[in-house]
Amino acid sequence: MSKYFANLDLNSLSPEEICHYMEERLRAQLPYCYTNSEFYRRKFQECGADPRDIKTLEDLRALPIFMNKDQERLNAVESLERDGHPFGTHLCIDPRDIYVTATTSGTTGVPTFTYSLTREDVDNFAPALGHRFVMNGLQYGDRVLFIFALGIYATTISLFGLRSVGGVPIDVDARAGSELMLRFAAQTRPRFMATTVSLAEYLIGKSKGIIGREVGDLKFAGVFVTGEVGVAIPEVRQRLEEAYGCPVYDYWAPAGHAIAITCGSREYLGLHAVAPDLCTAFHDLVDPDTKKPVAIEDGAVGEMVVTSLKRQAAPLVKFATGDVVQLSNQPCPHCGFPGHRARIIGRADDMLVVKGVNIYPAALKKVVESFTPQVTGEMRVVLETKPPRVVPPLKLRLERSSQVSDEDLAGLANHIIKAMHDQLKIRPVIEWAAPGSLEKSTRKTPLFEKRYI
């Protein structure tokens, strides 16, 4: 029996039986939320639903959205004013019983303490978070160079995952700078690295100057990246794998849920959902515009909606994550993983509408990346009016590489515009930026350059 799922009980179950398993937990989770949170009580009452009547995933999909990031922020403001804590009115426990808390990155506004967990929550979630790395070769005692903005941020929660499966994190704060990161890498000889795509790319150019060796000489067995649409783009993955000399995997756990990772397939086959017993994310999608349910079938595209299945402190119910994904419910043709998989298409709030066509910056980046090394791959979408509607033509600022002469730029721009038209049905205008002039962030690189007030 293959150990695809972190919860070993699930590995002997059929997809239908896994759904029943999820539904059993759902029937306990929803009344728990109703009883223990005033916010959820109000939400159920507003839509005229009794949580005891929501017995199946189908029943759950029929409920409206209860929460999104903005609502979560409002809940936090309310709980801070009224109860003196920042965890929100959807908190289901005494705030003193929170064992660990961590926030979202705050790149899209005020951070929220989405990752607030009891000790029991940590015990439930950590094995699933860690299982992702085990699936891709992590063994007991392996050191993992773990580079993120640490401390209060969500990525810190993954450290519980690594430790629960016997990994030894070498956790270095990304804000410490490339010198410290690379020196720890050289000194501790980690077998794996976990970081963001931007940082993994950034370190490639810094390594030789700081430790006298290329990143490939650090001999990682694998690199795990998260936080951006990155290795779903073949050129990005190829660049990283060539430089590091090892496979690069994509992993995520938005809102601490939808815990998933890619497998080692050459072709990108999506994030494999290793913990369907902890939330319904891969079983609940809505149209990003209308928020109406999207049928869960192979190839379905929609915004992921999370409902917790076994969470005590701050469970989420019908939480629209803002992540638009394409779902796959067929077994993975590479590794045989029998559960659901998803490819990230983009953020619902990053979506642009150009002449009625929905465009995600990630799709633009994918086209731009196919022109490396003539371009560096760094880019910004220039917005002259408030999104999502864009008065055509869409304007892109692309960083040219130093290999391209001034005379060749116009021809290169034409090739890129043609590719955009063939693949995305838009004809953008292109502004060139000098090599290295667009800022690279150690966290999430900005997608947009706003030129409106």
Residues that bind Zn ion (CB under 5 A): 263, 332, 334-335, 337
Minimum distance of Zn ion from residue 1's CB (angstroms): 17
Phi, psi of 390 (to 5 degrees): -120, 130
> Rounded CA gap, 302 and 325, in Å?
6
Q: How far is the CB of 287 from Zn ion (least distance, A)?
A: 28
Nearby residues of 270 by Cβ (< 8 Å), 6 or more positions away? 262, 326, 328, 341, 342, 343
Assigned token pair, 369: 């990346």
By C-beta, is 343 or 400 nearer to Zn ion? 343
Q: How far is CA 91 from CA 18, 87, 153, 309, in A?
A: 28, 6, 19, 15
Closest separation between CB of residue 282 and Zn ion, Å?
14
Smaller CB distance to Zn ion: residue 221 or 404?
221
Q: Shortest gap between Cβ of 283 and Zn ion (angstroms)?
A: 19
Residue 272 or 365: the one with the smaller Cβ distance to Zn ion is 272
* CB of 264 vs Zn ion, minimal distance in Å: 8
**Closest CB 265 distance from Zn ion, rounded Å:** 6
Nearer to Zn ion, 148 or 337 (CB): 337
- Residue 313 CA, chain-centre distance (Å), reads 22
What distance in Å separates the CA atoms of residue 207 and residue 200, rounded to the nearest whole number? 11
**Tokens representing residue 402 in the block:** 């130093």
Could you tell me which of 354, 377, 348, 353 has the C-alpha nearest to residue 445?
A: 377
Q: What is the rounded distance in angstroms from the CA atom of residue 321 to the CA atom of residue 29? A: 19
Measured distance CA(299)–CA(327) in Å, rounded? 5
CA angle 32, 68, 299 (to 5 degrees): 95
- Whole-number minimum distance, CB 268 to Zn ion, in Å? 10
Q: Which CB, 165 or 332, lies closer to Zn ion?
A: 332
Select 67 or 223, whichever has its Cβ closest to Zn ion.
Answer: 223
* 44 vs 337 by CB, closer to Zn ion: 337
Question: Rounded to the nearest whole angstrom, what is the least distance from the CB of residue 67 to Zn ion in the complex?
Answer: 31
Identify which of residues 15 and 411 has a Cβ nearer to Zn ion in the complex: 15
How many DSSP H helices and E strands does the chain contain? 11, 21
Q: What is the DSSP string of 180-200?
A: HHHHHHHHH--SEEEEEHHHH
Distance CA 140, CA 165 (A): 7
